[in-house]
């Protein structure tokens, strides 16, 4: 018997998705905003993987970066400031068939949502998290964020911020049950694509910090890195990121880093003068929370009744014969 759903599955299997299929509304980000580059990269990942549109959910919080789901042609959940991760966890928990992506910013993830980020790392649910780090609050119009460099002049720090910035990579690499951490700049499309793609392919919580340009409020933040390719340290490995010959000609500072080596990852992040780019850590063996907690069988009304009756038996007073 052929049902409507079966017809659709058969048909959709034949369709080849193009980049345009993954596009949603026209982005309203500023000209030159790094978010546009991230959007392009992720649409390429989706096309590369030929993900069915209805099986993708982009979850975000609040902020410039969190407008992301609107610009995808997939399912999306534009949630609350800081709460993208627990919402994404709830979605993934009983729907392993859905491909879950999270877009969050430096304020969303590392200020108001810090607790969720720490614990999401520990839960290690299978999702790809892109943390768009532009070092500033953009949507609320220019306030210093936890990752703003010391001395950042903003509307809340008119004489320059006084605190040293928070280092997301050092923090992440110290978290328990870590399974994937990478860093990518938004201005090298080939690497951005490769790193997000690796994150997607990793089964577990893939945390990608993306160095993101904000032409409106942090115009010069990444300019030295863009102007001086030697300020970036490429982490390459046969099991990680590989530079194309043309990229290798520009980005000469590179080291071989095995993504399974956590100690070396911490050393690079903690001591390097340069900004590392690539996969810092990957451990495919960390179990996913949704797998650890998944039901052992398909529950039918009969099984639920049986389970409930078993419980009620414990508390039942039967009439005496």
Partner 1 sequence: MAVAKKKRNTKPVGKPAVEIDEHIVEILSDSGEGAQKCGQSFGAIAARLGYGIWTTEIIPAEIQPPARSVEGASGNRIRVASRRLTNGGDSTDLTVAFNEQVLLGRLRAGQLKPGSTILLEDAWRSSDDPGIAASYARVYEELVAQGFDVYEVPMHAECLKIVRDPRRGKNMFVLGLLCSIYSLNVNAAHEQVKFIFGKKGDLVVASNQKLVDAGFAWAEKNLNIKFKIQATPPVEPHVVVNGNTALALGVMASGMEVCAMYPITPATSASHYLSDVFEKVGGVVHQAEDEIAAAAFAVGSSYAGKCAVTITSGPGYSLKQEVLGLAVMAEIPLVVIDVQRGGPSTGQPTKPEQGDLLTACFGSHGDAPKVVMAASDIEDCFYSVITARKIAETFNTVVVLLSDANLATAQQPFPRPELSAEWLAPPVDQSPVDPDYLPYNWDSRSGQRQRVIPGQPNGMHTLTGLAHDRTSGVAYNLEVNKEGMRHRSLKIAALQKTLKTPAVFGDDAGELLVVGWGSTRGAIEEAVQRVKADGHRVSSLHIKFLQPMASGIKEILNRFDKVLVVENNWADSMDDELIDEENRRYSNLGWLLRARCLVDVDCWGEVGEQPIKPGTVERIIRERLSK
Rounded Cα distance, 67 and 86, in Å = 18
Q: Does 80 bind partner 1 (CB under 8 A)?
A: yes
Q: Which two tokens stand for residue 101?
A: 């992506």
Q: Which of residues 109-138 bind partner 1 (CB under 8 A)?
A: 115-116, 118-119
Residues 6+ apart with CB under 8 A from 237: 256, 257, 258, 259, 278, 279
Asked if 163 interacts with partner 1 (CB under 8 A), we say no
**Checking DSSP bridges between strand 275-282 and strand 180-185, what pairing results, if any?**
antiparallel
Answer for which of 76, 146, 185, 240 binds partner 1 (CB under 8 A) is 76
78 touching partner 1, by CB under 8 A:
yes
Q: Residue 42 belongs to what H/E stretch?
A: helix 35-49
Q: Is 58 a binder of partner 1 (CB under 8 A)? A: yes
Task: State yes or no: residue 320 binds partner 1 (CB under 8 A).
Answer: yes
Binding to partner 1 (CB under 8 A) within 25-44 occurs at 25
In terms of CB distance, is 100 or 286 closer to partner 1?
Answer: 100
Per CB under 8 A, the segment of 54-62, 152-160, 209-217, 231-239 that binds partner 1 is 54-62
Q: Which of 17, 23, 24, 111 binds partner 1 (CB under 8 A)?
A: 24
Helix axes 189-201, 35-49, angle to 10 degrees: 50
Residue 54 CA to its chain's centroid (Å): 19
Q: Which CB atom, from 220 or from 311, has the smaller least distance to partner 1? A: 311
3-state secondary structure of 93: helix
In the bound state with partner 1, the residue whose beta carbon lies nearer, of 248 and 303, is: 303
Q: Which is nearer to partner 1, 151 or 307 (CB)?
A: 307
Span interacting with partner 1, options 3-11, 147-155, 231-239, 268-276, rule CB under 8 A? 3-11
Q: How far is the CB of 201 from partner 1 (least distance, A)?
A: 21
Q: What angle do CA 6, 23, 76 make, to 5 degrees?
A: 70
The one among 10, 141, 249, 293 contacting partner 1 by CB under 8 A: 293
Return the exposure string of 205-243: e unless at least 16 CB atoms fall within 10 Å of the residue's CB, then b: bbbbbbbbbbbbbbeebbeebbeeeeebbbbbbeebbeb
Q: Which of 34, 63, 79, 240 binds partner 1 (CB under 8 A)?
A: 79
**Nearest residue to 27 via CA among 15, 40, 17, 36:** 36
Both structure tokens of 90: 């709830």
* Least distance CB 55 / partner 1 (angstroms): 6
- Give the footprint of partner 1 on this chain (CB under 8 A): 4-5, 8, 12, 24-25, 52-55, 57-59, 69-70, 72-80, 83, 85-95, 97-98, 115-116, 118-119, 293, 295, 297-299, 301, 303-305, 307-312, 315-320
């Amino acid at each position: 018997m052929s049902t409507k759903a079966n017809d659709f599955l058969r048909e959709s299997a034949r369709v080849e998705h193009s980049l345009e299929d993954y596009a949603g509304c026209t982005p309203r980000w500023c000209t030159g905003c790094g978010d546009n580059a991230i959007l392009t990269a992720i649409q390429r990942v989706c096309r590369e993987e030929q993900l069915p549109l209805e099986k993708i959910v982009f979850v975000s919080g609040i902020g410039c970066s969190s407008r992301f789901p609107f610009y995808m042609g997939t399912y999306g959940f534009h949630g609350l400031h800081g709460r993208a991760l627990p919402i994404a966890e709830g979605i993934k928990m009983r729907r392993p068939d859905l491909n879950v992506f999270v877009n969050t910013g430096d304020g969303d993830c590392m200020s108001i949502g810090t607790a969720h980020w720490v614990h999401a790392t520990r839960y290690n649910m299978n999702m790809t998290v892109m943390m768009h780090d532009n070092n500033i609050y953009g949507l609320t119009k220019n306030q210093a964020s936890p990752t703003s460099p010391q001395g950042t002049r903003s509307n809340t720090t008119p004489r320059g911020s006084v605190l040293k910035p928070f280092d997301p990579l050092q923090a992440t690499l110290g978290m328990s049950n870590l399974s994937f951490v990478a860093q990518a700049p938004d201005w090298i499309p080939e690497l951005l694509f490769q790193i997000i793609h690796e994150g997607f392919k990793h089964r577990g919580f893939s945390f990608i910090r993306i160095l993101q340009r904000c032409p409106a409020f942090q115009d010069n933040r990444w300019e030295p890195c863009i102007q001086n390719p030697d300020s970036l340290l490429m982490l390459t490995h046969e099991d990680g990121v590989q530079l194309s010959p043309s990229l290798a000609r520009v980005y000469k500072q590179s080291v071989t880093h095995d993504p399974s080596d956590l100690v070396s990852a911490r050393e690079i992040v903690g001591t390097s003068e340069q900004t590392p780019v690539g996969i810092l850590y990957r451990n495919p063996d960390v179990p996913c929370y949704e797998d650890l907690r998944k039901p052992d069988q398909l529950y039918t009304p009969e099984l639920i009744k049986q389970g409930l009756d078993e419980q009620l038996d414990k508390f039942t007073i039967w009439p005496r014969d």
